Chain A
Amino acid sequence: MLANADAKATVGVLANPASGRDIRRLVAQASVFPTAEKANMVQRICGALGTLGIARVLMSTDLGGISAAVLRATRNRRASQSPWPDLEFCELDRFTETAEDTVTQVRRMIDAGARVIICLGGDGTARAVASACGDVPLLPLSTGTNNAFPQLREATVAGLAAGLVAAGVIDPATATQQTSVLEVRAGDRVELALVDVCVSTATHIGSRALWDPAALTELYCTFAEPDGIGLSSVPGQLCPSPRTEPTGVVLRLCAPEVARHVVHAPIAPGLVLPVGVRSWRPLRPGEELPVSADHGVVAVDGEREIELRRGEPATVRLRADGPRCVDVTRVLGIAAREGWLRDSQQHQ
């Protein structure tokens, strides 16, 4: 369909089987995103990419049933359906059923020539993919819980945008937006966050999610949007910081009774709770701050990841070299201007 498309264009598709299953289905009313729908999304992406003439899709494999459902779909496709790209499954030698599987598969996709990575999952999935995709454009689609970073967007449309970028008809610098990341260091442990880093008085990682604002003491955000979900919605309603800006924001939190500001924030799906804020200020790119707490847990993108050890200080640094994310709206706007998805015919 695209006259000047690269005939060898390849797109990687990473679908996380574990996203959308954590305790927030119990403590909040977080959505349940079934495996079958994740597989359907992959099929819709493949349909869009096939229509554009994209040559190849590298699909992740998993033990959760997504890749199996997509494989079954390839065998059951009817001749009348639009062609898909060649579909190759990215095999793993051994599944760990952790984020390590995601990282390994993304690296293999990029080594095999993927020019765009589409990932299906929540903030945690996007974080794992971002740690491995380097400069290759990322298009994160929401199938998780908080979904402050990935977009809740129709997969077909996302597939079209990803295909246009992979085909090389649009300059990646124009099609993508470089995001910021927060780097957390505690001893030899390093974690990256795409949206927020939060310190909790909880002692253990436990079931990972955060839903009790009384336990939160410090919050660092790469961006804060007024219509955000998750912890970044607190500064989103107090001191918004657009994701298009390199500056972030840092807040000191406290009990609402003694707080200077109390924000009623949607910190998780179904949970709009009062969060006390003692103070806040902008966080500059490159700025590194020490974590004040000497015990507790550090959560990245809403998931507890690091249990702080006594005598081992932790720091948070805002970096400007986050993943380059495909701007779907911008790409398809350019496509409309340039007529890439139009056939012009002379009618008599």
Chain B
Amino acid sequence: MTETLSTPAAGELNAEGLLDAYRTMRTIRVFEERVHDEFATGEIPGFVHLYAGEEASATGVCSHLDARDSIASTHRGHGHCIAKGVDPVEMMAEIYGKRTGSCHGKGGSMHIADLSKGMLGANGIVGGGPPLICGTALAAKQQNNGGVGVAFFGDGASNQGTTLESLNLASVWNLPAIFVAENNGYAEATASTWSVAADNIADRAAGFGMPGVIVDGFDFFAVHEAAGEAISRAREGGGPTLIEVKFTRYFGHFEGDQQAYRADEVANARDKLDCLKRFRARVTESGQLESSALDTVDSEVAALIESAVTEAKAAPKPTGVDLETDVYVSY
């Protein structure tokens, strides 16, 4: 049982909302740490790129979204999927390449999608998401349903023509599109300080005539607040926004990355900046939630992920017949 000791101010989450946000961040963290461990056993096919450390971004943004809204993700897409409501059990099966997976085991980590949840897909193409979001944002605008499209992309994708063209198009057409640049400091192994000509990705917004803001990506409340303003603005016809979220990814670019290109920043981030630690400290110090409620979530999430792995390992693989399904789409 949780209790709210003060009435939330405008735009702030109540106790239930805070618990939901914590559950989402915790689910992403435990999911990713478990995939990290399981990948090392050799059972998971293909590549995986883990989102641990970045949970506040996906959660802070997606906690404002509903069924009208769609998101496009990146190769590091597990966190976005979970935050948009994709079933972690199906996701785990997908990563294991099993028939019970989100895409029947034919997509794998980098192509998890669930259109029923408005999750257009993780995307192996760097900079592939922003053009998709221009499409869904245009559809929402034409349908006048108040929906928005959110494109998550990284510092590497911020240099891609597709991303820059999408920023331009979204501004020209005043689309309800939110561009979330998740700057974890490295495009694969290349530091963004070496490869991004603008000193802040958010600075590029001015050139496209849209607001650009920088947010502390370790702070759920900072992301949640900025995303809430941007999404409200977009829903009301105010047009697109570029939000640059700065943080550190806890694992390598991909599992197996030796990470010789970076020093001790991960240890510092995990110790002093971690979004889950900060969230827990703040909501308990403010009296918004009791520690016991968060502990309960921890236990439930641990059980969920354990179950997801067990089910994924036991699930059947796709057969040759499955190759002939989901090939064509009828309109």
> What is the CA–CA distance of A213 and B87 in the complex, to the nearest angstrom?
41
B288 close to A203 (CB less than 8 A): yes
A-B contact pairs, 25 of them (CB 8 A): A21-B212, A21-B214, A23-B213, A25-B205, A25-B213, A26-B211, A26-B229, A35-B200, A64-B199, A65-B199, A201-B9, A203-B6, A203-B8, A203-B9, A203-B286, A204-B12, A206-B225, A207-B221, A208-B222, A212-B11, A295-B6, A295-B286, A307-B286, A309-B285, A310-B286
Across the interface, name the chain B residue whose C-beta is closest to A17: B199
Chain A residue numbers with a CB within 8 Å of B94 are: none
Given contacts A21-B213, A26-B211, contact A206 B219 (CB under 8 A): yes
Given contacts A27-B229, A307-B282, A307-B285, contact A207 B203 (CB under 8 A): no
Interface secondary structure of B, over-half rule:
mixed
B202 close to A21 (CB less than 8 A): yes
Chain A residue numbers with a CB within 8 Å of B241 are: 26
A215 located at the interface, meaning its Cβ lies under 8 Å from any Cβ of chain B in the complex:
yes
In the A-B complex, the 4 residue pairs with the smallest Cβ-Cβ separation, listed nearest first, are: A65-B199, A204-B221, A206-B225, A206-B221
Chain B residue numbers with a CB within 8 Å of A63 are: 193
- Total cross-chain contacts (CB, 8 A): 88
Given contacts A32-B203, A34-B203, A310-B287, contact A22 B8 (CB under 8 A): no
Given contacts A203-B12, A295-B287, contact A22 B221 (CB under 8 A): no
Across the interface, name the chain B residue whose C-beta is closest to A212: B10
B282 close to A202 (CB less than 8 A): no
**Chain B 252-287, CB within 8 Å of chain A: the 1/0 string?**
000000000000000000000000000000100111
Return B6 CB to nearest CB of chain A, in Å: 5
B226 located at the interface, meaning its Cβ lies under 8 Å from any Cβ of chain A in the complex:
yes
A90 located at the interface, meaning its Cβ lies under 8 Å from any Cβ of chain B in the complex:
no
Chain B residue numbers with a CB within 8 Å of A204 are: 12, 221, 282, 286
**Which residues from 309 to 324 on chain A have a C-beta closer than 8 Å to any C-beta of chain B?**
309-310
Interface size on B, residues (CB 8 A): 34
B9 close to A64 (CB less than 8 A): no
Return A58 CB to nearest CB of chain B, in Å: 21
> What is the CA–CA distance of A63 and B194 in the complex, to the nearest angstrom?
11
B230 located at the interface, meaning its Cβ lies under 8 Å from any Cβ of chain A in the complex:
yes
B10 close to A23 (CB less than 8 A): no
**Which residues from 205 to 219 on chain A have a C-beta closer than 8 Å to any C-beta of chain B?**
205-208, 212, 214-215
Residues on B facing A (Cβ under 8 Å): 5-6, 8-12, 193, 199-200, 202-203, 205-206, 211-215, 219, 221-222, 224-226, 229-230, 233, 241, 282, 285-288
Interface extent on A, as a size class?
A: 20 to 34
A18 located at the interface, meaning its Cβ lies under 8 Å from any Cβ of chain B in the complex:
yes
**Which residues from 9 to 56 on chain A have a C-beta closer than 8 Å to any C-beta of chain B?**
17-18, 21-23, 25-27, 32, 34-35
> What is the CA–CA distance of A324 and B169 in the complex, to the nearest angstrom?
49
B229 close to A35 (CB less than 8 A): no
> What is the CA–CA distance of A303 and B52 in the complex, to the nearest angstrom?
29
A23 close to B226 (CB less than 8 A): yes
Given contacts A26-B241, A32-B203, A310-B287, contact A207 B226 (CB under 8 A): yes
> What is the CA–CA distance of A2 and B5 in the complex, to the nearest angstrom?
65
Chain A residue numbers with a CB within 8 Å of B214 are: 18, 21-22
Chain A residue numbers with a CB within 8 Å of B5 are: 295, 310
> What is the CA–CA distance of A27 and B199 in the complex, to the nearest angstrom?
22
Chain A residue numbers with a CB within 8 Å of B222 are: 205-208
Chain A residue numbers with a CB within 8 Å of B203 are: 21, 32, 34-35
16 new A-B pairs (CB below 8 Å) besides A23-B225, A206-B224?
Answer: A21-B200, A25-B205, A25-B213, A26-B230, A27-B229, A32-B212, A64-B200, A65-B199, A202-B12, A203-B8, A203-B286, A204-B286, A205-B222, A207-B213, A307-B285, A309-B285
Return B238 CB to nearest CB of chain A, in Å: 9
B8 close to A26 (CB less than 8 A): no
